[in-house]
Amino acid sequence: MAESGAPVELYVYDLSHGLARQLSPQLVGRLVEGIWHTSVVVYGTEWYYGQGVLRAKPGSTAHGAPLQRLAMGHTKVSVEELVSFVTRLAEAKYTADRYRLLDHNCNHFSAEVVQYLTGGEIPAYIRDLPREILATDFGRALQPLLEGAQPPSRLPSDRLTHVHSPVEPALATSSLEAAVLPDPHPHRRLIPTPALNGLGHLPILFPQPEGARRALARLRALPEAQRLDPVVLADDQLDYVAPLSDPTSWRAALDHLYDTLKPTDRFPVLDLVRYALTCPGLCGAAEGETGFRWTKKLLSDATAVATDSEAVPRPLLITALRLACNIWACDNLVDHLSQPPTVEGAGTPPLLDVLTGLMVHAILCSEVTVRQAGAALAFNLGAWVGTGRRAAYERARGATRLSDTSPLPSEWCDHRHEDWLIEAVSAITEALRKEPASPTAFRLLAALAHLLYLAPAGTLELADVLGLGEWLADHQTEWPSEPRGAALACEVVALLAARPT
């Protein structure tokens, strides 16, 4: 005899898309079949928890097709009673900010809903997975990170305020096919990223005055400097005992000296500008359109020398890289990063392209110190892109309404910088694969993590084709100088597997 009531199913997804089965023996010392995410399907609707409680038509979420559909029995609980129960859970217990990867996740929500509907339990292999992982050495090592893992999004906790209590009439139907808030990018839905979030977005800067003092001494000794106003090269310009009231005069004097020097001898001027960008007294030299064009010219010239000469002086290249990093200390220069050249500067590459050319040359250089500085610039670029992309994503998601079925936004300016993303991801991936385990390698990995988070599917596919995921899987435990390396490598592997459709 057929059971009465509505059928209840448990949809089971593998968030690792097979990677857990492939990599778990070497990482945790035992076979882990999958990283399980579950949802409950009843009355033609799929209910699940991650960034709050959400609902969707079965099989239409960002998780794709379920790996398994397990029959949990039948329920006589009415639609109205179910919605009331789930709403109470969403408001009191399963809010976005209470998500915990180990002990308060999607599977705990599914277990409560199944128990309420049928009195049954979800399978033990799903329920007990966190405990089994933590019983291994690898799991214990990652436990502090896992315990701090937050849900993959920071959306306001109102997903189920779309299922208002008292129950909305539109939801009190047997099909519950009301419009659903579109699923966000799978990176936000599926991948907790505590290691990536812990990196922060603050740029790596080089404000040290010692190099600038040595640069002043070098410049004062040059015959070309004798025609300059002595105040321009005075030591107190570094200490700001008597800062210049007009930084543009300082810029004009240095620019004149710069033009008289051979390209390979210009690094003392670059070092002074490098320091000036971090100091209130002199950073005004880079303000305005004229200051921007001047700074870009210095970097463009240095990049040209670095890429065209086989014997580029190492001090010139390192100083140019540090100057490039300090661009993030000057809002005027950062504002120009993604802008096309002005009419006056037409025919010259954008500042972003200049920095990228310098970065690519440096991270693939044979000199260790050059690669170190290049990796710092790579991190700054990656963090800047990642921060802008997240901000654009949050704004777009915040504007989304329940009735909006539009596709996910084209985050940051990926659609305008697709070629740039390809170049940056390709170069940094190649450099990382060649770099021994070191702080430089960690900076490159961090840059990639920022560039790949919320990235378009094409960028993620490119990184996968380049073998980044496979390489990280083989080397993710080889970070002796950086304890965060293994966790960050794991997260990047997961990001590559969770591509938007």
Q: Are residues 268 and 220 in the same domain?
A: yes
Query: 3-state DSSP call for residue 42?
Result: strand
Quote the crossing angle between the two packed helices 439-452 and 418-434, to the nearest 10°.
Answer: 150
DSSP-assigned letter for residue 416: T
Question: Which two tokens mark 159?
Answer: 């997903």
- Is residue 491 in some structural domain? yes
- Is residue 197 in some structural domain? no
Q: Are residues 328 and 404 in the same domain?
A: yes
Exposure class string for 297-324: b at 16+ Cβ within 10 A, else e:
ebbbbbbebbeeeeebbebbbbbbbbbb
Q: Are residues 224 and 324 in the same domain?
A: yes
Give the active site residues: 37, 106
- Is residue 86 in some structural domain? yes
- Is residue 200 in some structural domain? no
Q: In the beta sheet, which residues pair with residue 10?
A: 40, 70
- Is residue 199 in some structural domain? no
CATH number for the domain harbouring residue 31: 3.90.1720.30
Quote the crossing angle between the two packed helices 418-434 and 468-475, to the nearest 10°.
Answer: 30
Q: Are residues 145 and 278 in the same domain?
A: no
Q: Are residues 236 and 305 in the same domain?
A: yes
Are 179 and 402 spatial neighbours (Cβ–Cβ below 8 Å)? Answer: yes
- Is residue 190 in some structural domain? no
Residue 250: HSE in the Cβ half-sphere, 13 Å Cα cutoff: 23
Q: Are residues 146 and 293 in the same domain?
A: no
Query: 3-state DSSP call for residue 68?
Result: strand
Q: Are residues 338 and 418 in the same domain?
A: yes
Confidence (pTM): 0.60
Rg value, the chain, Cα: 28
The distance of Cα 431 from the centroid of its chain, to the nearest Å, equals: 18
Domain assignment of residue 50, given as a range: 6-171+178-184
Q: Are residues 318 and 382 in the same domain?
A: yes
**Separation between Cα atoms, residue 27 and residue 73, nearest integer Å:** 37
CATH number for the domain harbouring residue 226: 1.25.10.10
Q: In the beta sheet, which residues pair with residue 8?
A: 73
Q: Are residues 434 and 374 in the same domain?
A: yes
Q: Are residues 357 and 282 in the same domain?
A: yes
- Is residue 64 in some structural domain? yes
Domains identified in the chain, total number: 2
**pLDDT by 10s per residue, the chain, length 501:** 456 788 999 999 887 677 667 766 766 677 778 778 899 999 888 899 877 888 888 887 777 789 999 999 999 998 878 888 988 888 889 887 788 767 788 999 999 999 999 999 999 988 888 777 666 665 555 555 444 444 443 333 334 444 333 333 333 333 333 333 344 678 876 677 888 988 888 999 998 876 666 766 666 666 555 554 444 444 444 443 234 445 555 666 677 667 777 777 777 788 888 888 887 655 665 666 777 787 888 888 888 877 766 666 788 889 899 999 999 988 878 888 866 544 344 456 788 888 999 999 999 999 999 999 999 999 999 999 998 888 777 766 554 332 333 333 333 556 567 788 889 999 999 999 999 888 999 999 999 999 999 998 889 989 988 999 889 888 877 776 677 888 898 889 888 888 876
**Total Cβ atoms within 10 A of residue 167:** 16
Amino acid identity at 82: L
- Is residue 195 in some structural domain? no
Question: Which two tokens mark 112?
Answer: 């409560």
Q: Are residues 151 and 229 in the same domain?
A: no
Q: Are residues 135 and 218 in the same domain?
A: no
